[in-house]
């Protein structure tokens, strides 16, 4: 698959191919496109960069633009099975909220992940405080080593 679908018929063909294929075939056929998209997406997002910088300061291991089946998450914390989504204005629309609900349900059911949404304005205002409030005080997040890092 090269580039974007050119016509509506091509778009339908790709969708049908995706729905008929098993997971292994989907991965082999569509991952080059997803990987390319991840590289483009990760290169230009200051909100995610600020969050990643704060995580590095706290010595929290993370993966950026991690792919879970057909979804790409902003930041994945593998030690805690937590996904951080840095939500900009696109997530405030009805369509964006619907996509978020579907993705969150899928990630929770299929992978057992906790998805936490962080608003862009909160990240820009005080990312360290936000991570402290959201992650440390959240009873669903395990209390491994990094609670100590936040308290120091």
Strands 82-87 and 114-119, sheet pairing: parallel
Look at residue 152 in the predicted model and tell me its pLDDT.
Answer: 40
Q: What is the pLDDT of residue 87?
A: 79
For residues 66 and 8, membership in a common domain is answered with: no
Check whether residue 57 and residue 17 sit in a common domain. no
The share of the chain scoring above pLDDT 70, in percent, equals 68
* Sheet (strand 114-119) strand order: 63-68, 71-77, 82-87, 114-119
The confidence score (pLDDT) of residue 149 equals 40
> Does one domain contain both 54 and 106?
yes
Same-domain pairing of 63 and 24: no
Domain match, 112 and 123 both? yes
**CA-CA-CA-CA torsion sign (123, 127, 133, 138):** positive
pLDDT of residue 118: 87
pLDDT at residue 147 in the model = 40
Judgement on whether residues 67 and 140 belong to the same structural domain of the protein: yes
Residue 76 has a pLDDT of 92
Q: Quick check: 146 pLDDT over 50?
A: no
Model confidence at 32, pLDDT cuts 50, 70, 90, reads: low
Q: What average pLDDT score do residues 45-49 get? A: 86
For 105-139, write each residue's pLDDT tens digit. Answer: 999 898 888 888 888 888 888 888 888 777 765 55
Q: How confident is the model at residue 70 (pLDDT cuts 50, 70, 90)?
A: confident
The pLDDT, as a whole number, for residue 145 is: 41
Domain that holds residue 32: 1-44
Better-scored residue on pLDDT, 19 or 97: 97
Task: Specify the number of domains making up the chain.
Answer: 2
Better-predicted residue by pLDDT, 6 or 42: 6
Task: Say whether both 29 and 78 belong to one domain.
Answer: no
Are 98 and 76 part of one and the same domain? Answer: yes
Yes or no: say if 96 and 74 are a contact pair by the CB < 8 Å rule: no
Same domain, 89 and 113: yes
CB atoms within 10 A of CB 107: 21
CATH number reported for the structural domain that contains residue 131 in this entry = 3.40.960.10
Q: What percent of the chain has pLDDT above 90? A: 6
């Amino acid at each position: 698959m090269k580039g974007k679908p050119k016509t509506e018929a091509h778009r339908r063909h790709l969708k049908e191919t995706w729905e008929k294929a098993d997971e292994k075939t989907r991965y082999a056929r569509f991952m080059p496109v997803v990987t390319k998209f991840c590289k483009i997406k990760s290169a230009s997002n200051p909100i995610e960069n600020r969050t990643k910088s704060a995580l590095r300061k706290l010595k929290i291991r993370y993966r950026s633009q991690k792919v879970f089946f057909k979804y790409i998450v902003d930041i994945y914390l593998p030690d805690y099975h937590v996904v951080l989504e840095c939500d900009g204005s696109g997530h405030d629309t009805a369509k964006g909220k619907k996509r978020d609900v579907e993705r969150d349900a899928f990630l929770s059911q299929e992978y057992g992940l906790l998805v936490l949404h962080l608003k862009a304005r909160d990240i820009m205002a005080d990312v360290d405080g936000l991570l402290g409030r959201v992650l440390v005080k959240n009873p669903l997040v395990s209390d491994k080593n990094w609670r100590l890092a936040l308290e120091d």
